[in-house]
Chains A and B, each alone.
Chain A
Amino acid sequence: MPPVTLPTNPVSVTVAIRTAALVGNPNVGKSTLFNTLAGLRQKTANFPGTTQEAHLAQVQSPAGPIVLADLPGAYGLSLNTNESRICKGVLTGDQSIKGFPGGKPDAVAIVVDATNVPRNLRLAGEVIALGLPTIVVVTMTDAAARKGIKIDAEKFEAALGCPVVFASGKTGKGVADVLPALARAKVAAGPLSAAHIDEWADAVYAKACTAETRDHDAVTDRLDLAFTHPILGVATFAAIMTGLFWAIFSLATIPMDAIEAGFGWLAGLVSNTLPAGAIRDLLADGVIAGVGGTLVFLPQIVLLFFLIALLEQTGYLARAAFVIDRLLKPFGLPGHAFVPLLSGHACAIPAIMSARAIPDFRQRVATILAIPFMSCSARIPVYVLLTQILFPESTMLQAVAFTGCYVLGAAAGLFTAIIARRTILKGKSPAMALELPRYQWPSLLGATKTAAARGWLFVRKAGTVILAISVILWWLSAYPKPADPDDAQRAAEVSFLGRIGGAVQPVFAPMGADRQLTVGILASFAAREVFVSTMAVQIAGTDDAEGEGVRERLTEATRDDGTKVFTPATSWAMLVFFVLAIQCLPTLVVTAKEAGGWKWAALQAGWMTGVAYVAATIVYGVASAIG
């Protein structure tokens, strides 16, 4: 017997539905349903003041267009989590979404997983109690049928007091019924109070659902045992991650080379067709070089997100988080931080974006602050140059120094995480409790959509912020022109950037930098790989930084006073500086967005530059003393 009487008189509404929100527990197929409803018309917006993303789409229902918002998956509306606060805020009209017409949504669709109805009904009860016109969408009905769970649609509708639709975002079955049902959304009575939610959920369940068998999934048990095993679990994780990063570093090189070649061809075309002058230089050296230099990382970003989305869909990542949690705990970071930290070795930008998977704010920001210390692929040209200058005779010692750079970067990142977690991000880390989603085959289409959306965000950034910065830097380094426009060395001296370099040089003098190295550091503030070409332009009078001759000339290059530019002490100091310094403007832009404010980007820039400056100064002092 159900312990409470269920309401039987739902209130009909005649309000036209112009906006609607999808809410539900995590892993119930809500976003898959949204993707199927929205197709490619969706866009990503932010909930102002939060780091959570909202997905919006204008969909066509029989009663007219509806702006549909996919809210983050939450277990309840009153929990101390971001997702919970956002869902409640949107449903009560306190939290706005950019691009979503103001106030509360006109209707809400609660997504309920058929394999776990009682738990899902807790959230449903909380949402219904808010008094919005509601419908319930039941997903995962195939999985439920396999487990012997049956839901009687009519009885469920009667018990809930609002329309019920059965739909699968994955197969598309029943999805066409969702939007027409929204037009029939009803304000239902729901549970009497928060204290009665469990009773209400049990009563609704007892009225409408039956279960023939109990769920004992031996295969899942065995997989879980293996994937969370202290040795086997770590070995599996290491194998999967090696495969992932092999794919990112090796497969991505093909499209990366193509993009580089494409922009090279474009720059050549511009140089050959346009008459010599400012416009040609702006297009070739500013716009094409800047945007091309950034877009070259697009394949790595798209591939990383594609593979992570595939892994996530299999259900494996939730298990892996526990395996790695033990290793990262001493640094105040959770198991979820591992993939972002490892991804940082390819490129900090997608790595910081993937830190979203970390539920706790303090842990997420600590991870974001640590990521840019990981030696990304853009540091490689600088490492190659400086290790070769340091050890021209021994490839063995070059390799040791190279590896040392990676170790130093990772150590500095973890050190930053500990410091942050003990000071500005102080607070007890929540003990890990994760729902382990069921294992399933990943959907290539879903992963492609995720990767495409991430890739597009990156392209948009390359076309706006990064483009603007590239143009400004180009202008500073190109003007004013020297008397002889072909004298590249003189041009580097008299340009605004060269003059700034001369003025700022005393600041970098303690780490052994002369005017030319200072210009190299300043020019590479926006993108560290620029250091090599800037040094080449200034010292060798040619921008062919890849040629063997250039490297030799850089090794032999002299300062204005006749001493060598790259002494061992200066080279060590520069190497340490480039391991630790931020030197990447796009990273700061992404940090500001993901951590929730420019103050975090400013802190990151200040901290990394400060650490790099102090460390490089110490290294220069010690190396000079040793000789």
Chain B
Amino acid sequence: MTTQTTAQAPARVRLTQLTRGQTARLDSADFKDDSAAHLTAMGLRPSCQLRVCKAGQPCIVHVDGHAGGCRIALSRDLAASLYVLPH
């Protein structure tokens, strides 16, 4: 996953910095355990589109897998470990 940003590209922020209704693309994750594999398998794969349904604890995101997708609730710690590129 790229961490490089250019002047035009949106700045990479933590998922916890987004507010309700904001959409973003998942950029990278900062995990020291096997949470990453689990979240990817649940649908939070690199570059997936997210919409924040609820900010705070828990942080609820709708993951857009092309269409349909799924809704995932994350504890604040997990959400803070995910970096996203807001739209």
To the question of whether A and B form a pair in one complex, the answer is yes
Which A residues are within 8 Å of any B CB, using their own CB? 75-76, 78-81, 114-119, 122-123, 144, 147-149, 198, 205, 209, 211-217, 220-221, 224-225, 228, 230, 318-319, 322, 325-326, 428, 430-436, 438
Q: Are A318 and B67 within 8 A (Cβ)?
A: no
Q: Which of A147, A428, A431 is close to B67, meaning CB atoms less than 8 Å apart?
A: A147
On chain B, the residues within 8 Å of A435 by CB distance are 42-43, 70-73
Q: Are A433 and B75 within 8 A (Cβ)?
A: yes
On chain B, the residues within 8 Å of A148 by CB distance are 67
B40 CB to nearest chain A CB (Å) = 8
Q: Which of A118, A205, A216, A225 has the most CB of B within 10 A?
A: A118
How many Å lie between the Cα of A149 and that of B33 in the bound state?
35
Q: Which of A119, A149, A215, A436 has the most CB of B within 10 A?
A: A119
On chain A, the residues within 8 Å of B45 by CB distance are 122, 198
Q: Are B35 and A433 within 8 A (Cβ)?
A: yes
How many Å lie between the Cα of A318 and that of B70 in the bound state?
14
Within 8 A of A (CB), among B31-57: 33-35, 37-39, 41-43, 45, 51, 53-54, 57
On chain B, the residues within 8 Å of A118 by CB distance are 43, 65-66
On chain A, the residues within 8 Å of B75 by CB distance are 322, 325, 431-433
Q: Are B73 and A436 within 8 A (Cβ)?
A: yes
18 cross-chain CB contacts under 8 A: A116-B68, A116-B70, A117-B65, A198-B45, A214-B67, A215-B62, A217-B62, A220-B71, A224-B71, A225-B53, A225-B54, A228-B58, A322-B73, A325-B75, A432-B73, A433-B42, A433-B75, A435-B42
Q: Are A228 and B42 within 8 A (Cβ)?
A: no
Q: Are B37 and A119 within 8 A (Cβ)?
A: no
Q: Which of B54, B63, B67, B72 is close to A211, meaning CB atoms less than 8 Å apart?
A: B67
Q: Are A78 and B57 within 8 A (Cβ)?
A: no
Q: Which of A148, A149, A212, A228 has the most CB of B within 10 A?
A: A228
Residue B74 lies at the interface, judged by CB distance under 8 Å to chain A: yes
Residue B69 lies at the interface, judged by CB distance under 8 Å to chain A: yes
Q: Which of A78, A198, A211, A433 has the most CB of B within 10 A?
A: A433
On chain A, the residues within 8 Å of B72 by CB distance are 433-436
Smallest CB gap from A322: residue in B: B58
**A contact patch SS:** mixed
Residue B60 lies at the interface, judged by CB distance under 8 Å to chain A: yes
A330 CB to nearest chain B CB (Å) = 15
Given A221-B54, A224-B60, A433-B38: 19 more A-B contacts, CB < 8 Å: A79-B34, A117-B65, A118-B66, A119-B42, A148-B67, A205-B66, A215-B62, A215-B64, A215-B69, A220-B71, A224-B71, A230-B57, A318-B73, A431-B35, A432-B73, A434-B73, A435-B71, A436-B60, A436-B71
Q: Are A224 and B74 within 8 A (Cβ)?
A: no
Residue B78 lies at the interface, judged by CB distance under 8 Å to chain A: yes
Q: Nearest 10 pairs between A and B by C-beta?
A: A211-B67, A75-B41, A76-B41, A115-B68, A118-B65, A119-B43, A432-B75, A436-B71, A322-B58, A431-B78
On chain A, the residues within 8 Å of B33 by CB distance are 428, 430
Smallest CB gap from B34: residue in A: A80
A172 CB to nearest chain B CB (Å) = 23
Known: A76-B41, A224-B54, A436-B60. A149 touches B68 (CB 8 A): yes
Q: Which of A78, A147, A435 has the most CB of B within 10 A?
A: A435
On chain A, the residues within 8 Å of B30 by CB distance are none
Known: A215-B62, A326-B57. A75 touches B38 (CB 8 A): yes
B77 CB to nearest chain A CB (Å) = 5
On chain A, the residues within 8 Å of B74 by CB distance are 431-433
How many Å lie between the Cα of A117 and that of B63 in the bound state?
12
Within 8 A of A (CB), among B73-87: 73-75, 77-78
Q: Which of B51, B54, B57, B68 is close to A147, meaning CB atoms less than 8 Å apart?
A: B68
